[in-house]
């Protein structure tokens, strides 16, 4: 940030100074050249030639400013790359327990978490979810919803409290074993350059084509995939450029289902879908969460009304918790959010 500000500052000084010097030089040349012409010591053509020479002289000097600005941006980008390459931070993997037979009972016990060790984004968050139940998390942007996902998957360590899976602290699980039992579907789905099959299996040789077809059938999209040119061998461009947002999301659902996670996390998975795919995706979600501990983060409150428990976050704190009907009866924050969305929907329909 500071390097960019310095670059703009130097750029804003260099250009005006060069232009002022160029204008002074041109003015002096015209004054001296006119004097020489009147004294018949030179010709008008020579003076015009020198005016052109001055422009040729100052043009590369102006270009230096552009090159300097480009160099500054390159240095800043290079610094970020080298900082990432030099980063030796590793998540401690001292756990020895296997998550192979995990049921999916989840508990947060007074969990507090900060990315910078100072500003806590989660403050004494506590809740329980029994195996097979669905927990929905709602709240404003920055309330800490995505942070819950990050610490559950142990992408970051918590500062206070504990997280339990089947009554066992997540730090006691072997890291790769723990993460293999957590399925994550994000709002922004990343698809690699390759076939639909490769994007679903992530080239895991232990997953057969029959398993992928079965998962696609459960999600109700097997017919759609088979209609693609080449079916499961259809080549997807980088980031799924040849597919719609809804189609990319559907592929991510099949990907999550085929790995058979015990805990499924849907982070705004339905916030940017097209109308045509909405029914397919809702059906896919129902199949995905069936028999699994599920955590759904959503702004559309209509998609989480049937959740077993709804958690309302505000500035990192749990301010309300209960079922949809219980929270409406409280006449609190959740009811305000629900009525606000309902009124917006009515206004749109009118």
> pLDDT tens digits for 294-311?
888 877 776 777 888 888
Alpha helix positions (H), 110-244: 145-152, 175-180, 196-201, 209-219, 222-227
Tell me what pLDDT residue 347 has. Answer: 45
pLDDT digits (tens, 9 = 90+) for 265-280: 888 766 555 555 566 6
Average pLDDT over residues 64-75: 74
Residue 326 clears pLDDT 80, i.e. is over it: yes
Task: Specify the 3-state DSSP secondary structure of 312.
Answer: strand
Name the pLDDT band for 349 (thresholds 50, 70, 90).
very low
Name the pLDDT band for 190 (thresholds 50, 70, 90).
confident
Mean pLDDT score of the chain, rounded to an integer? 81
DSSP 95: -
Residues 292 and 177 grouped into a single domain: yes
Residues 199 and 304 grouped into a single domain: yes
Last residue of a domain, which of 85, 117, 150?
A: 85
Last residue of a domain, which of 34, 50, 85?
A: 85
Sheet of 106-114: strand order equals 120-129, 106-114, 160-165, 168-169
Residues 180 and 324 grouped into a single domain: yes
Residues 77 and 116 grouped into a single domain: no
- As a whole number of angstroms, the distance between CA 192 and CA 46 comes to 64
pTM, rounded to two decimals: 0.68
Name the pLDDT band for 3 (thresholds 50, 70, 90).
low
Residue 198 clears pLDDT 60, i.e. is over it: yes
- Which residues span the domain enclosing 57? 2-85
Identify whether the C-beta of residue 251 lies closer than 8 Å to the C-beta of residue 228: no
Within a domain: residue 91? no
- As a whole number of angstroms, the distance between CA 134 and CA 80 comes to 40
């Amino acid at each position: 940030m500071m390097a960019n500000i310095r670059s703009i500052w130097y750029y804003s000084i260099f250009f005006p100074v060069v232009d002022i010097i160029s204008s002074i030089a041109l003015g002096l040349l015209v004054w001296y050249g006119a004097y020489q012409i009147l004294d018949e010591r030179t010709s008008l053509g020579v003076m015009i030639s020198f005016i052109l020479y001055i422009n040729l002289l100052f043009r590369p000097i102006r270009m230096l400013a552009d090159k300097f600005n480009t160099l500054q941006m390159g240095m800043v980008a290079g610094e970020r790359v080298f900082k990432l390459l030099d980063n030796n931070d590793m998540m401690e993997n001292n756990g020895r327990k296997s998550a192979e037979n995990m049921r999916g009972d989840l508990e947060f016990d007074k969990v507090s978490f900060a990315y910078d060790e100072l500003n806590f984004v989660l403050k004494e968050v506590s809740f329980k979810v029994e195996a097979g139940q669905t927990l929905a998390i709602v709240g404003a942007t920055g309330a800490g919803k995505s942070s819950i996902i990050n610490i559950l998957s142990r992408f970051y360590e918590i500062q206070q409290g504990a997280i339990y899976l089947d009554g066992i602290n997540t730090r006691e699980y072997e890291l790769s074993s723990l993460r293999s039992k957590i399925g994550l579907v994000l709002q922004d789905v990343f698809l690699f350059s390759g076939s639909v099959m490769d994007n679903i299996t992530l080239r895991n040789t232990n997953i057969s084509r029959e398993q992928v077809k079965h998962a696609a059938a459960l999600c109700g999209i097997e017919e759609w995939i088979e209609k693609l040119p080449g079916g499961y061998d259809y080549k997807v461009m980088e980031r799924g450029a040849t597919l719609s947002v809804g189609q990319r999301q559907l592929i991510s659902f099949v990907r999550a289902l085929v790995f058979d996670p015990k805990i499924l996390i849907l982070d705004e998975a339905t916030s940017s879908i097209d109308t045509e795919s909405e029914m397919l995706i809702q059906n896919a979600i129902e199949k995905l969460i069936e028999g699994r501990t599920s955590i759904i983060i959503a702004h559309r409150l209509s998609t989480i009304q049937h959740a077993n428990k709804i958690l309302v976050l505000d500035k990192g704190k749990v301010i309300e918790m209960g079922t949809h009907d219980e929270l409406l009866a409280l006449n609190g924050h959740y009811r305000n959010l629900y009525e606000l969305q309902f009124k917006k929907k009515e206004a749109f329909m009118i």
